[in-house]
Amino acid sequence: MHITFYGAVREVTGSLHLLSAGDDQILMDCGMFQGRRKETDRKNRMLPFDPGIITNMILSHAHIDHSGRIPLLTKDGFTGRVFSTRATSDACRYLLPDSAHIQESDANYLNYKTVRNVLTDMAAGKNKEKKRESARRRLRTERGLNLEAIYELIDRYHLDAVSPIYTSADAEAALSFFDSRPYEETFTLGHGTECRFYDAGHILGSAISIIHATENSHRRTIGFTGDIGRFNKPILKDPTLEFQPEDRDLDLLIMESTYGDRTHEPVKDMAPHLKQVLNDTISRGGTVVIPSFAFGRTQELLYVIHDLYNNKEVPEVPVYVDSPLATRMTKVFGEHPEMYDQQTHEDFLEEGKNPFMFKKVQFVTDVEDSMALMRREDPHIVISASGMCEAGRILHHLRYKIHNTKHTILIVGYMAAHTLGRRLLEKGEEYAANGRQGEPPKLRFLNKEYPLKAEVVKLGGFSAHGDKNEMLKFLKESNLRIKKIALVHGEEAPTLAFSDTLKKAGYSVHVPKAGETLKIR
């Protein structure tokens, strides 16, 4: 019996692990890598095994770095089931088609650029800009790209076309493979394996999986945390600490380590710190621009802002959720009040209030409305995707606001290496450390450089991941008895630091490398 670690190994995104036990090949997560475009595309296009050998899969939660390659799995020969909680399945109904749409849009744009450049090079004359403009007019309509013309020219000139990793049709087809299971009920996972989900407290529907696997009459128990949430945060229940008796003795725990080398600001400081940022920015007539994950972080921000408005702690400026996906995901949150913590029930549900809806919040779906919002100069709050600033409407809000000192860019989540969000955060912190003196740093996106004059503020308390102390709390205060821990889902430095912390606390720890196989004894 062994586990091979294929993804989110000494890095954060692309969660993918394979348990082999007897006749069973059980996949744990099938996530997208996120980072540099070329490296990301290379890693995401192929799975490191034949999908046809996989018996079944468990999905820890719906975030794309855990779920995003499921359509690739299901279109290439997988015949099993994708087991998850109902909330996770409901979230994937929107997240996976959205992922496919982004890939299709990116592929169309890259193919447009290829054809445009070929037409420009082929055109007569010396004025390159005029030739380029002529090519643009040929390949565009009032509604956008002329896809029929683009792909006809690709065929005519035998050009290499970029294709999406999977299509919207592939994503829709993948949804039929989902099989929802409640927390703390045993279900059959394979010929010799069974599983039970427990609440991980990370996002709505996130699960810790306890797997019992039998091979040659030997029974082993494996735990997989997925991502572990924080304690005492708004909306969701805390990570589970009480496990059923038959699930307590683990031969191996596969555990995340995203923030294994640091601590977050206390949960109790989240609202006061957000209050200060809002008051400071609004007082200077600015806008607070918040890159945010559509699922989880957006709803948490709405909850806290709603509470601040109820208590009259900040001026009630308009709040815009400029993300069609975030609008849909807020609906999913509203469909699962059974997963809210007691405080949310007392503060909102028992008062007949929706935590995520209040008179000053508006959900923006139309592109025209979004473009009009970007040009607004009055104080307001914008929550927009994507959370790591790699795509979506947030890029356009940034280009309108990044060069003005009265605005604030508020970072409330993890920014993976090599993303625009990470560069934005690092350059903003460096500029602030120098007293914001001298030439502001520049960031390149949307094919242009922009001076980073807006203030960049990070609030670590909003993280959905437990920090090193909270992960230690999970290990020490739960009733699990663990023989060995394998650390995944963390960049190398935090993971190795957390490994040292755990070893000093008496745990047996292994930090696998990509593609490494670990035998479970």
Supply the CATH number for residue 81's domain.
Answer: 3.60.15.10
Question: Do 69 and 196 lie in a common domain?
Answer: yes
Question: Do 76 and 217 lie in a common domain?
Answer: yes
Question: Do 472 and 445 lie in a common domain?
Answer: no
Question: Do 304 and 411 lie in a common domain?
Answer: yes
In a domain, 176, yes or no: no
Q: Could you give the CA distance from residue 334 to residue 302 in angstroms, rounded to a whole number? A: 13
pLDDT at 34: 85
Q: Could you give the CA distance from residue 253 to residue 13 in angstroms, rounded to a whole number? A: 19
State the DSSP code for 177.
G
The answer to whether residues 88 and 200 touch, using CB atoms and an 8 Å cutoff, is no
Residue by residue, pLDDT tens for the chain (521 residues) are 999 999 999 999 999 999 999 999 999 999 999 877 788 888 999 999 999 999 999 999 999 999 999 999 999 999 999 999 999 999 999 999 999 998 999 899 999 999 999 999 998 777 888 888 999 999 998 888 999 999 999 999 999 999 999 999 999 999 999 999 999 999 999 999 999 999 999 999 999 999 999 998 899 999 999 999 999 999 999 999 999 999 999 999 999 999 999 999 999 999 999 999 999 999 999 999 999 989 999 999 999 999 999 999 999 999 999 999 999 999 999 999 999 999 999 988 888 889 999 999 999 999 899 999 999 999 999 999 888 898 889 999 999 999 999 999 999 988 888 899 999 999 999 999 999 999 999 999 988 999 999 999 999 888 899 999 999 999 999 999 999 999 999 999 999 999 999 999 999 999 999 999 999 98
Question: Do 430 and 475 lie in a common domain?
Answer: no
In a domain, 168, yes or no: no
pLDDT at 171: 98
Placement of tokens 């010396």 in the chain: 126
In a domain, 164, yes or no: no
pLDDT at 431: 95
Question: Do 470 and 457 lie in a common domain?
Answer: no
Q: Considering its fold, how many domains does the chain have in total? A: 3
Q: Say how many C-beta atoms besides its own lie within 10 A of residue 503's C-beta.
A: 12
Domain with residue 310: its CATH number is 3.40.50.10890
Burial class (CB in 10 A: 0-12, 13-18, 19+), 272: middle
In a domain, 61, yes or no: yes
Q: Say how many C-beta atoms besides its own lie within 10 A of residue 475's C-beta.
A: 18
Nearest to 421, CA basis, from 316, 292, 261, 255: 292
What is the token pair recorded at 80? 């099993």
In a domain, 92, yes or no: no
Question: Do 310 and 431 lie in a common domain?
Answer: yes
What is the token pair recorded at 26? 């059980």
Q: Say how many C-beta atoms besides its own lie within 10 A of residue 520's C-beta.
A: 20
In a domain, 139, yes or no: yes
Nearest to 58, CA basis, from 18, 96, 92: 18
Question: Do 206 and 314 lie in a common domain?
Answer: no
Cis amide bond preceding 478, omega within 30: no
Question: Do 357 and 417 lie in a common domain?
Answer: yes
Q: Could you give the CA distance from residue 258 to residue 465 in angstroms, rounded to a whole number? A: 7
Among residues 447, 462, 477, the one where a domain terminates is: 462
Residues belonging to the chain = 521
Among residues 425, 447, 462, the one where a domain terminates is: 462
Question: Do 343 and 413 lie in a common domain?
Answer: yes
The string of DSSP codes covering 490-512 is S-HHHHHHHHHHHHHTT--EE--
Among residues 432, 447, 462, the one where a domain terminates is: 462
Q: Could you give the CA distance from residue 235 to residue 303 in angstroms, rounded to a whole number? A: 8
pLDDT at 416: 84
Question: Do 383 and 342 lie in a common domain?
Answer: yes
Question: Do 457 and 470 lie in a common domain?
Answer: no
The answer to whether residues 184 and 198 touch, using CB atoms and an 8 Å cutoff, is yes
In a domain, 103, yes or no: yes
Q: Which domain holds residue 146?
A: 97-156
For residue 158, give the 3-state DSSP assignment: coil
The string of DSSP codes covering 7-74 is ESSSSSS--EEEEEETTEEEEE--PPP-SSHHHHHHHHH--SS-GGG--EEE-S---HHHHTTHHHHH
In a domain, 172, yes or no: no
* HEC readout, 185-231: CCEECCCCEEEEEEECCCCCCCEEEEEEEEECCEEEEEEECCCCCCC
pTM score above 0.85: yes
Rg (CA), the chain: 24
